[in-house]
Structure formats: structure tokens, C-alpha cells
Structure 1
Amino acid sequence: MDGQLSFPRQHARTQRFTLGSPRSFTVSPDGARVLFLRSRSGTDRQNLLWVHDLDEGTERIAADPAALLGGGAERLSDAERARRERSREGSAGVVGYAVDRAVERVAFALSGRLFTAEPRTGEARELPVEGPVVDPRPSPDGEHVAWVARGALRVAGADGSGERVLAGPGEGEAGGSVGYGLAEFVAAEEMDRSRGYWWSPESDRLLVARVDDSPVRRWWIADPAHPDRRPAEVAYPAAGTANAEVTLHLVGLDGSRVPVEWDRARYPYLARVHWSAAGPPLLLVQARDQRTQLCLTVDPSTGATTVLHADEDPVWLDLFPGVPVWTPDGRLVRIADEGGARVLMVGDRPLTGPQLHIRAVLDVTAEDVLVTASAGPEAEAPGLGEIHVHRVTELGVERISEGAGVHGAVRSGPVTVVSSLSPSAPGVTVRLLRDGKPAGTVLSLAEEPVLTARPRLTEAGERRIPCAVLLPSGYRDGDGPLPVLMDPYGGPHGQRVLAAHNAYLTSQWFADQGFAVVVADGRGTPGRSPSWEKAIAGDPAGVTLEDQVTAVRALAESFPLDLGRVAIRGWSYGGYLAALAVLRRPDVFHAAVSGAPVTDWLLYDTHYSERYLGHPDEAPAVYAANSLISGGELSGAARENRPLMLIHGLADDNVVAAHTLRLSSALLAAGRPHEVLPLSGVTHMTPQEQVAENLLLLQARFLRRSLGLD
């Protein structure tokens, strides 16, 4: 690697140092093989499917996109492009795959075509089927493969024979508004449900979601840089408007079809589906206000559902990865907020207490449950920013991840794959354990950053707000106070203060431009306690902004912070928070860079906006108070004008560009100077190399100029 390569260029060309890093692990039940995705280098966007043989300690390629496509370029369908945007997938090649029960057959899509691979032999081939193929999945017995093409769920034999439509739009369902087998927008964007069909354990039928988005309001996203192109039509369920209608059907390979019945009027959100040999299918359905939800069992012969468990919360109910699920002996596994803590429940018993804050369920066996957790409200050693993997049994809890850091795991049979991010070293370390003992590693090919992040993790103020402070690399005690750059996300689902080196690389680069950078995770961010996350209900603007102010003022007592020169930058919720800061608290914040901000929650989606603000018909004042446009921030001559740069991708279909354009119009009408940087062809992600590189450079120049450093 060129030793003179700048960090912004390296950061962009490596897609934030994710390229070349192994991910998406699957372990065969016999413990013989581990499948994973990885590109050939830290600058190669194309993922290959690899197999690690534990007995031989070797790696081999199971599927090479370049060979399978004959060197041709990938062409993505609109459905596949939307799936990747929802999952924030910026790489290419094999970006996802599915396996049969024995991990003997793998299915994946390339350029809208269906491929299968056999990990044991290394043979991969294309199945000549109807496309463009989206989300292919083998049956558990490996005898069939299902996929979605043009709104229909299709199936064929594992050799491609006998292709047919299992569920597709019928008469009166034309026009593209009805589809089978894919997740609707809010499920993929907000519920962490990316799938729309599930095989039965016996491989003879599937649960298939039917999505009718005809009730959803249509928006059109144009590309002003190309006025000759038609605008893209998007079915976007904005707060207070209609969602897609989602139903579920049991569809047999023999052509049978049975509707699954539940009270969809009261519980319209299909949040989770689980089907295993341990019990009947499980559904988790939510009310629109997300304060009640039901865990249902499904009778596979009739489609009738029975309430297995009901949850209520006066604020909202969170959704968690990996649950609900059965234990092998038929007990329900779930995560619940009990007694001020987030605990693991097996049957009617909590198996963890306030020492742990459960994040996800990774695997369930007859002996234990594998989970990830951070320190709970009563932990003896909090381990700021750490997430660990634990084995939970009836007798207690055992931590299996080692050392400070952020850890995750995948397990099957005797083998566990533990992925670890360390605060002291860049990149990911992947350890293989067999029966709890070291059995090898998986190599990362990610590039090593040209700079070293040096965060100091601490807590600020009486609320003990988790923070990271980064000073310039050459800073010495006695050099004097530094201008401050707050660098938060600051909202739901976005923990930034993590015990992981690469999480702070961009912040360190900004620090090296002459700032003391502060990353603060105030109330509303995940990983601490249920009450911490839910404190923003009805007032995310006031609560999250207050904690940023508290953090910077408290930290100034211990770090060289010049409170007369404080800037803030952020993207998405962080962009909202940055613009809010200079508009509502110009006495504290003196400049802001606001990227892709939500400026009016009426323009954001139902499941997210209504969780935190309520339904706009019932709480119009709450929406007005949390809006950057109608919240009062733009009125009042006494408010000082602070430099504000607004950045937005014009192709963004998540936080649409109307957010920034409407705020800019309101600022102009109020006589408030500001800058707008529109990004043609850019979505909510910024994977384009030149765009990502120059965005960092332009932000640094703006911030230095605004705070008088240049």
C-alpha cells in the first residue's frame, strides 16, 4: 500500500475498512466446515464464498463471482437494489447466501441469476431459471430451491428441474402493487426483518408473506442531474399514513394454500417468523403503536393461530434479533424488559438479571442459550462500550469472549465462530472454537489504517453519559484548549461509544485536523438499560440535545476543550441532531455539518416515527415540537445565526431529499445563511469512492473555516 495514501482516500476505497474482512459465517452441524464471505483484498468490492475446513485447517473458494459470470459486470434488479439499500450493503459479488440444514448446498444470486454451490466438493453452477432472482433459499433437506422473481415466489428442484410458481400475483393483483416472498419497506428498514418466506422443517411447504402496497402513498424521486430520466416511484409509508397490507400463507409444494389468521386490524405488523422442528411456527405481531404485541403459534394444517404470550409496555416494545424461538424441548425463548433490566426468558423463568443487558439470542440448544450482552445497570465491572458473548444455562452465565472489545458469534454443533473487535488493534479477529477449545482462525484481508485511533472512553455528568474523547495525535499536555467537534449519532439503534478501534478512525482523523473530538451516547442510544433508551419518548429533540450539551460541558472539566468554539457533525439522526444543535442552542454550538437529516418527522416512516412520537393525528404538537422546520427554531430575531452545511443524497429513498430542501427553504425565508451540498445519484449510503473521500475533506474545511482555524 502507498505509504502516502491519505486517510480520506483509504477510508473511501476500503468502504470504511470493511472490504477484505470476513463476515456472514455459517457452521455445518457436524463441525467440519465454516462458510463465510470475504473479498480478495481490502480494496476489492467483490465478495467470494469461502469454506474453512476445520480438520485440515485450510481455506478454499466455494464460489468465485468473476468465474461464474465469465468476467461480466453485475446487473442488479430494482428489487435487489432495494434489498441492498435497506441492509446498507455496499459491496458486490456474493453479498448473501442461504444453506440447507446439513450445509451441503448453498444458494445465492449473482446479477439476477441463481447459483448453487456444494461446500464439500467446491462445485458451483448456475440453475437456468426465471429471473431476476432475489433471495434464493434451499429447502432444509436440500432437494429444492425457492426464490423470488417479479413479485412471485418460485421453486425448482436442486438441479433446476420442475420450476414453477408457488405464489404469485393473480387476477386483479396486477400493476406491481402485490408481491410474494419479500419483506415490505418498514420490515426491512425498521424491524430488522429482511425475509418474506420461510421453509418448513419437513421441506414440504413454506410460510410466505403477501405484501400489498397499493394503500401506501406514492412518492417520486427524481434525478435533477438527468432530467431525461423518469422519476423513480416509491411506495413510502410516511408517519400517519397507510402501511402495506401484509398477510401470511402456508403454501405447499403440492400447490395447496392456507391463509394464516390473526387479528391484523389490531396487530398489523408482522415482526418475526420462526419455524423449526422444535415446535409449530412462531409469529411475533405488533400493534401499530408498538405498545402491545403477541407471540402466536400457527397450526400448519389450518392456519389458525393461538396466543402463546402477550407483551405490553406503556412506552414501546423493542424487537430483538434471534427471538422468539423454541428450545429443543419446546419452551419459548424471548428477551424481555423486567425490573428495569433487559433479561433472557426461557419459558416463564428469567435466566439473567440486572448484571447483563441482553442484546441478541445467537443460538439455542438443549443445554444452553448463546447470547450477546453488554453490562447491565447493576454490573460490577461495566466495561464501557463492550459487548460480549455469553453461554446462559439454568445454573448461571459463562462469558466465552475474551478481552475488552465488541464480540459476536455464530454456533452450530461443537463449533463456535467468535468475531472480535478490539479497542487496541484495527480490524476483526475471528477465532474458531471446537468444544470450547481453539480450533483455528479465519484471516482478515482488510487494509490496516494509515492512522491510529486513540479514544479515551469515559463518562460525563451526573447521568454518566458514555463518551469517547479524541485529541490530535501530536497533542501534548499543556498545549492549551482545542476547538471541539461533537461527532454523535445520538439516537435510537446507533451506539457509537464502543470498545473497538475502527469505530473511531474518522473521529481521529478529524481530531488530527486540530479538534478535540467528542463522541457522546446520550439517552435514546442502545446498550445501557430499557429506561435509558425509552427516555426520549415524545421528546427526542429535547432529550438527545440536552445530553450532548451536558456531555461537552462536563468533559471540559477534565479535557482541554474550548467551549467558545464548539462544532457538531452527524449523519441521519446525527444530522438531525447537528442541525437542531445550532438552531436551538447557538449559545453552545457554533457550527454544524448536517448530513441526510430528518427535518420533519411527518416525512419519515410509520414504524420509526410513531414509536418515538406517537401517531401524528393524536400528537400533532409533539411532531411540531420535534420538527426543525415548525419547532420554533427558525423564529425569533434574538437567535444567533451559526454556520450550517446541509448535505443530502438526491437518490435517498429512506430520508428523502425533501427533508433538507424544505429546511433550506425555511432557513432562506427566515433570512438565515446556510450552505447546501446536494449529492446527485447518492442514496442514504455514500459508497461512491470519490464522494466519500471528498465529503470528509469538504466537512473539515467548512468546520475549520467556521471556527476560525483557517
Structure 2
Amino acid sequence: MTTDSSAATFPRQYARTLRYTVGAPRSFAVAPDGARVAFLRSRSGTDRANLLWTLDAATGEERIAADPAALLGGGEEDLSPAEKARRERSREGSAGIVGYALDGSGTLAAFALSGRLFTADLRTGTARELPATGPLVDPRPAPDGVHVAYANTAGELRLSRADGTADRVLVAPERAGVTWGQAEFIAQEEMDRDRGYWWSPDSDRLLVARADDAPVQRWWIADPANPGTAPAEVAYPAAGTPNAEVTLWLLGLDGARTEVVWDREAFPYLARVHWSANGAPLLLVQARDQRSQQIRTVDTATGATELLRAEQDPVWLDLFPGVPAWTPGGELVRIDDESQVRALVVGDRQLTGDTLHVRSVFAITDDSVLFSASAGPSDIDLPPGWTGLFRAGPDGVTRFADNGDGAASAVHGGGLTVLSTTSATQPGSTVRVLRGDEVIATIASHAETPLLTARPQFRFAGERCIPSAVFLPTGYDRERDGLLPVLMDPYGGPHGQRVVQAHNPHLTSQWFADQGFAVVVADGRGTPGRSPEWEKAIAFDFAGVTLQDQVDALHGLAEEFPLDLGRVGIRGWSYGGYLSALAVLRRPDVFHAAVSGAPVTDFGLYDTHYTERYLGHPAERPEVYQANSLIPDAPKLERPLMLVHGLADDNVVAAHTLRLSSALLAAGRAHTVLPLSGVTHMTPQEEVAENLLLLQVEFLKNAL
């Protein structure tokens, strides 16, 4: 732990350590022979530059495989705008080696550093630079380790021989705006697909996505603090407007091309690609309204595709990590909710029931499918926010690893499992390497120990049993201190589970509690982890459903906890920012002050894949967009409201806050606006992140 007096406050430490992620091991990969585990980790809890490490499974020894400082000669990284945008999409705030890929044997790692191409031999721990034309992104070795493919900012997909003897173009764009081998904005931001090409198991060709953003409207992100700087051009597909045109091609190593054909008019979204030795390549393609999708196989000789499975849902279809995929026996593995339960399905067999809510598939072995799940709708014995690991195999569905009442994630291969577990009572996570059930090593974390201890009290609140966590000030005494002003601290929307059985995600809430608040975090309908019905209850009604659940959780918890319902504030970022502003605009009888960070105030300004999934197409449902917009509610404001927004945000653009502020001003409603110059949707800048916490506390204390 640092002893620097300038850093001896929680806000400073929290900001400097990127929420205590710096120094923690991450991005694990296991060699197929089980000989080693690769991972990323920086040298300390304040050094953001990740190194590539290996752990020897036989001895437990950790060794550096690639050190950015040595490879760059001690120089600073020089990131291209494309790489900065890519990191923004993945919410990556660290530096150094932020990602890598392995060959089929797990001995050769490829990675980008400062836009240059490097490889590391994981057996010897030596790394070197390969000839490449950059700045480049996403290098990936062929399974046989002979070539390394990579994309670059010119839109090319190129090949470099792993022995360093050649670098050449495999395919180049025909014009500006076309990229080969890169995931387009929507795929990165909303589909959790961050790659644009896939090697064949035989290393003789690739499946490559071609993205053409010519149809996408252009927006301009200016830097008002530096008027001499030209605005940045951004291709942003807002709801109801055209997306990039994405096609898929089979490319031979000689550059020969064969287009992969499916009905792109009906299914324009390329959501998933899977290519393994267990079967033909699999595609998952979605309709624009995401209420229908197809899993198709690819004929690698002709590029023709064949329908394997068609899926429909009257509300929407979700995408999941790890599926669709093949078992070694050629059965299709998928996750669906046709039975109103989020279930694991292999072939035509549903393997899980209503006691589990399946979240992802993380490995497929010769006889089993390994997956993560939270408690299903019929199981309320487990605490809110619990996630466990399971095996579906010859003995049915069994627990794969015991993580108690915490949360778990894992990577599995070569007979080894890298198991990460958390606890609500212990900082950080514990990473163990297991062979079978035997722990053979623990991978050390260099993350700093937080200066405070989170003390979440988990509850299912109200009649709907809303997963919630309550935080009281450290040392609080009810007889002495009485009722406390309340701070609701939600995200409250899709993909954003806040109530988890872990310690570090709750530290900010505890810090706010220690400033004299009772803090409530509630995961209402729309948040993940309960049931398909729970998640889909928000269809066409963000505002009504998610706001009502915050109110209900607050009132339900007030029956047990010392909550002063006459002094209730709310704060949040992104969807949480939307929910916070919504709360004071529509329910001033319940909420008395709000801090709204980077809010989506008009969903007509947010992207296609996200917004249309939940609210429909704006041309077809304009009344839904109007009902869920904050702008028409501006004249209703009667409570203190602080709006915070990064002016460089290209995800939730600053126009959201500026339009709401203009509407408030036109209605004569006083409010506070805090513009953050040069800040994107993330706030990795240390001073900005620290002072944001301090300013929010000051504003809320004054308002309440």
C-alpha cells in the first residue's frame, strides 16, 4: 500500500489505481498441453503498464515473457486514434500490453505495443519485434504459429511471418471508410465482438469481416477548450439511421477471396463467428430488430451458408459469451430462454432448469460443457449477486468449483482451470490454478489494498425481491445517529449489474456512506442475472419500469434500515445518469437531489443496436422515444440537479447533456453543469476522477 501522503485518501487512491484493477492479474490463457498459464499484470498497484507473464504449471514459477519498458527502450507508448477508440470501446484504462493472442500450441503470443507488432516465445520468455506496417491492432498468430495476422489503421489485413522474414498485405480497402479484419463500432460497443477475423484450424485461410462505414452518418466531436483543434469526425449510427455494411469473406493466404453469403437484408448484424476443428464455421446473424436470428454453417469451398437453427423472440434475443459453438462430437452448444428460463442447450437437449440462470459458456471439453450461472427464478436461497461455475457432463449438472457465497469466473484448458473468486468481505479477487480439484498455484496480485472496507448488507427488497445492497457509515450507531440522508447509487439498466458478491465494486458506495449517507444500490428490472422475464420487463419502457423499481427498493428497505425518506439523493453515470435525472424530473416527491453523469437524455441520439433492441425503431415507435426522453420533462424540474459530461465522449455525446441543459434554461429551471474537457465516457484521468467524487459529495450535502 502506498504511503505517499498526497495519495492517502480514498478518492485519490481509487482514481490512481483504476478502481484497484492496476496490479491485479487478468486476461488468462492456458496452453492446450497444460504446461503453462499466460496472463497480464503490472509490476505494482500504481503502475498501469501491463507485462505479459507465464506461470509454469509444474513448478508454480512466474516469469516475465514480455516487458513493455524493455521492448520500447524505456520510451512512452504512442497510441493511434484507432487504438484509443478501441480501448474506449472495451473500457480499457491500463497501458502496456492490454491484450494478446496465442497460437494453437500456446507457445507463441502476439501483441501490439505502441502500434507495433511483437511476439513472445512463452517457453523461453523471450520477446521480439516483427516487421509490420502500422499502427496496427489485434495481431493473432495462426494455429500453426507460422504467420501472424494483424489489422492496421489503413484498413488493411496483413500477414507477417513469425520468423520475422516477411510482411505483406493480405487484403486492402478499396476506398476510405472500408476496413478489413476489424470489428465495427456497433460490434465493439454493443455486441461484445471485438475482433474482425478468425483463423482456420488448419492455418491455411481466414474468415475476415469487411466493414464499410460510408452509409453511417458523421458527427463531429469538438474540443471547446482548444478552439484551434479541428473537430474529430466520428461515424456514429444513431437509432433509426444506417449502420455500417458488414460482409464476411474467406481469404486464402495467397489473397484469394470468396464471399460468405447469407440474407444480409434480413439479418444485417454479424454477431458471432466460431471456427474450430469440431465442425464447419458457425455464424450467428441477427435481424435489425433483434427479435429473430439465425445460426448458420459455412461451406468453406463455396462460401454458401446453410441454416442450422432459426430463433425468434417477441421481445428480443440476447447474445452470450462462448456460444454458439461445437462440442468435439459435433453437437451445437447454445444458450436460450425459449422456456422462459435462461438455459444451456446441447444438441436438442436442455441441460439446465429454473434453478440456474445461465450467463456464459467458458469451456467445452471432450465430455462436458463448463458454464457460469447465477441463481434462477426458483432459487432464492443464494444471496443477491452470486455467480457460480458449473459442469454439464455425464453426471448431469454439477458444481464445477466452490466459490461459497461469492462470485466466480474461470478459464479452462489443457486440464487446468484458472479460477478467480471474490468475496463481499475480502478486497480484490483470489486467482488459483487447479488441476482437477487440486490447487497447484496461486497467482499473486499486486493491486493495492483499499484504504477503506466496504460493508454491504444484501437484501431482496420489496414485493418484487429487488436485489439490493445497503451501506451505512462506518461506526454508525442508530440510537446516537438516528435516521440518515439517503443516496441511491444505481446503474439500473441493461448489462449493468451492480449488486455483486464482491468487495471492491462496492467501495465507492461505502465511501459515500462514510460521508454521512445511507447508500442504497438496487438492481431493478432490466439488469442482468435474474430471469429472462426480469431482464425483458423494460421493453419499450425504460423510464417507467427502472424508476419504479428504484422507488420500490427504497421504500422496501426503509422498513429495516435508518433511511430518512425526506432527504433522498441519487447519483449515477451513463444509464445511471439517465436514471438519476429521470428521478428528480418525474418523482420529486421521492427524490430531492441528483447527480447525473453522462446521461442519455434523448435515446434518438444513442446507437442502433442498443436502443432499438429495447425501444424499437424510432420511425415505428416515435411515441416510445418521446416517453423515454428527458427533454420534455425539463419544465418539471424542482429539485437540485448537477449534470456532468465529458466533452470528448463519442459514446454518449455531450449533446445529450447540452440539450437537456438548454431545455432547462428555456424553462427557467436552475441547474448545475460540470463539463469535463478532454474526458471521454470513461474518466481515467486521476485528478478528474478524484475531484468528481469530492464535488458530488459537496453538491449532495448542500442539496440535502
Q: Which amino acid is 1:561 matched to?
A: L
Match of 1:652 in 2: 649
Amino acid at match of 1:485: L
Asked whether 1:155 is paired with 2:159, we answer: yes
Within 5 Å, give how 1:197-236 maps onto structure 2. 197-236=197-236
Q: 1:119-518 maps to which residues of 2 (within 5 A)?
A: 119-149=122-152, 150-170=154-174, 173=175, 176-379=176-379, 381-399=381-399, 400-478=401-479, 479-518=481-520
Show CA shifts across 1:520-568 (max 9, x none). Answer: 0000000000000000000011100000011111111110000000000
- Matched with 1:523 is 525
Residue 113 of structure 1 contacts residue 133 of structure 1 at CA under 8 Å; is this kept in 2? yes
Q: Aligned letter for 1:311?
A: E
Q: What is the deviation of 1:661?
A: 0.3
Cα offset, 1:381, TM superposition: 2.5
CA deviation after TM superposition for structure 1 residue 413, in Å: 1.5
CA contact (8 A) 1:340 1:530 kept: yes
Kindly indicate whether the alpha-carbon contact (under 8 Å) linking 1:22 and 1:36 is maintained by their aligned counterparts in 2: yes
| Residue number in structure 2 paired with 1:577 | 579
- Structure 1 residue 641 and structure 2 residue 638: aligned? yes
- Residue number among 674, 678, 687 corresponding to 2:675 in the alignment: 678
**Distance apart, 1:3 and its partner CA:** 7.8
Deviation at 1:163, TM superposition (A): 1.8
Structure 2: which 5+ residue stretches go unaligned? Answer: none
Deviation at 1:167, TM superposition (A): 1.4
Match of 2:625 among 623, 626, 629: 623
C-alpha distance in 2 between matches for 1:88 and 1:453: 24
Q: SS of the residue aligned with 1:279? A: coil
**Residue 91 in 1 paired to residue 88 in 2?**
no
Q: 1:228 is aligned with what amino acid?
A: G
Q: Secondary structure at the match of 2:129?
A: strand
1:77 correspondence with 2:80:
yes
Query: Which of the numbers 78, 103, 107 marks the counterpart of 2:106?
Result: 103
* 1:402 Cα offset (Å): 2.3
- Percent of aligned pairs with the same residue? 69
Distance 1:383 1:562 in 2: 26
The root-mean-square deviation of aligned C-alpha atoms, in Å, is 0.9
* In 1, Cα distance between equivalents of 2:514 and 2:403: 31
Partner of 2:117: 114
Q: Which range is displaced more, 373-382 or 85-94?
A: 373-382
Where 2:634 maps in the other structure, the secondary structure is coil
Structure 1-normalised TM-score?
A: 0.97
1:548 alignment partner, SS class: helix
| Structure 2: distance between partners of 1:98 and 1:641 | 53
| Native 8 Å contact 2:634 2:660 kept in 1 | no
Aligned partners of 2:289 and 2:329: how far apart in 1? 34
Q: Does structure 2 conserve the Cα–Cα contact (< 8 Å) formed by 1:334 and 1:344? A: yes
Describe the superposition over 1:390-425 as per-residue Cα deviations: whole angstroms up to 9, x where unpaired: 111143222113222110000002100001111110
Tell me how far 1:95 sits from its aligned partner: 0.1
Letter in 2 for 1:621: E
One-letter amino acid of the counterpart of residue 570, structure 1: G
Residue 595 (structure 2) pairs with residue 593 (structure 1): yes
Asked if 2 retains the 8 angstrom alpha-carbon contact of 1:136 and 1:148, the reply is yes
Moved more, 485-494 or 473-482: 473-482
Q: What is residue 604 of structure 1 aligned with on the other side?
A: 606
- For residues 289-342 of structure 1, the C-alpha deviation after alignment (integer angstroms, 9 at most, x for no partner) is 000000000000100000001110000000000000000010000000032210
Partner of 1:698: 695
Of 660, 667, 687, which residue of structure 2 is paired with 1:663?
660
Give the deviation of 1:383 after TM superposition.
2.8
Which SS does the other structure have where 2:544 is aligned?
helix
Deviations 1:203-250 (A, max 9, x none): 000000000000000000000011111100000000000000000000
Cα distance between partner residues in 2 of 1:127 and 1:339: 51
**Structure 2 counterpart of 1:69, which letter?**
L
Aligned residues between the structures = 698
Q: How many Å separate the matches in 1 of 2:675 and 2:443?
A: 41
Does structure 2 retain, via aligned residues, the 8 Å contact 1:98–1:138?
Answer: yes
8 Å Cα contact 1:351/1:394 also seen in 2:
no
CA contact (8 A) 1:351 1:393 kept: no
For residue 684 of structure 1, what is the amino acid of its counterpart?
H
Q: Distance in 1 between matches of 2:570 and 2:121?
A: 50
Residue 42 of structure 1 is matched in structure 2 by: 45
Post-superposition Cα deviations, 1:262-284, rounded to whole Å, max 9, x if no partner, equal 00000000000000000010000
Shift of 1:642: 0.4
**Which residue of 31, 38, 45 maps to 1:28?**
31
- Counterparts of 1:56 and 1:562 in 2: how far apart (Å)? 57
1:626–1:81 CA distance, 2 compared to 1 (3 A) = same
Give the TM-score normalised by the residue count of structure 2. Answer: 0.98
- Aligned partner of 1:99: which letter? L
Structure 1 moving runs of 4+ over 3 Å: none
